[in-house]
Amino acid sequence: MGDFGTTFSVDELPEADSLEALPAGWYDAAIAEAEVIPTYELDDDGRQTVTKAHIKIQFCIEGPSHEGRNTYTRINIKNPSEQCVKIGLGELRSMLTAIGMRAADDSSQLIGARLGIRLVVKNSPEYGPQNDVKGYRAIGGAMPSNFAAPKKTASAVPKFATAKPTKKAAPVAVTAQGEVDEDESYLSPQKEAAKPATVAPNQRATPPWFKKA
């Protein structure tokens, strides 16, 4: 049990947003949230390694109707299935093109971007009609003629890039530029005693879990 600290009255509480699926079609939207979600699994040595990762994106609808409603999508960027990654990276390319961004290295760079999204309605046996994002375009329908360079953020290794050993933490080194450089020894027992790799000046470290499709 727990005290609310106040009294809630149905006469004063706001009405809940409708949970019904939005009608299929094109909508203008802004990216409200974007976060990389990793999936960990234990290897034979009891160490946690990232086997899957996807970008979870929340869109806030701006028009032409249903302003303020939210819808979501997931874009796979790491998966044992090469076909799954190929589809996900193709979707990511379409989204970056629609928002006029040539490249991105952090999910935070997507937040605030505006674009058109095409929603379809699929019927889930468990949850009923649900929206799914099936296309991207620039606001107004035309693709941008110029791509904007991504805004650089403070260089840092994603928090999920380093496995979480059950007995000891992976060593960390700091380069002369102040960037964190994670040791990749957890990726293979043979690299257990390897020194942490260094990052060359002006070169961003590639997350150790990432494998280009």
pLDDT digit string, tens, across residues 115-124: 999 999 999 8
Output b/e per residue, 24-58; b: 16+ Cβ within 10 A: eeebbbbbeebebebeeeeeeeebbbbebbbbebb
* Residue-level pLDDT at 200: 52
Look at residue 12 and tell me whether its pLDDT is greater than 90.
no
pTM of the full predicted structure? 0.61
pLDDT at 13: 82
Each residue's pLDDT tens digit, 153-184 = 444 445 554 444 444 444 444 444 444 444 44
Give the pLDDT confidence score for residue 124 in this predicted structure: 86
3-state secondary structure the chain: CCCCCCCCCCCCCCCCCCCCCCCCEEEEEEEEEEEEEEEEEECCCCCEEEEEEEEEEEEEEEECCCCCCEEEEEEEEECCCHHHHHHHHHHHHHHHHHHCECCCCCHHHHCCCEEEEEEEEEEECCCEEEEEEEEEECCCCCCCCCCECCCCCCCCCCCCCCCCCCCCCCCEEECCCCCEEECCHHHCHHHCCCCCCCCCCCCCCCCCCCCCC
Look at residue 188 and tell me whether its pLDDT is greater than 60: no
What is residue 206's predicted lDDT score, i.e. its pLDDT? 58
- C-alpha span between 187 and 158 (Å, rounded): 16
Instruction: Go through the domains of the chain in sequence order and give each one's CATH number.
Output: 25-137 (2.40.50)
- pLDDT band at residue 126 using 50, 70 and 90 as cut-offs: confident
Q: What's the pLDDT at 184?
A: 43
* Residue 43 token pair: 């290897």
Quick check: 189 pLDDT over 50? no
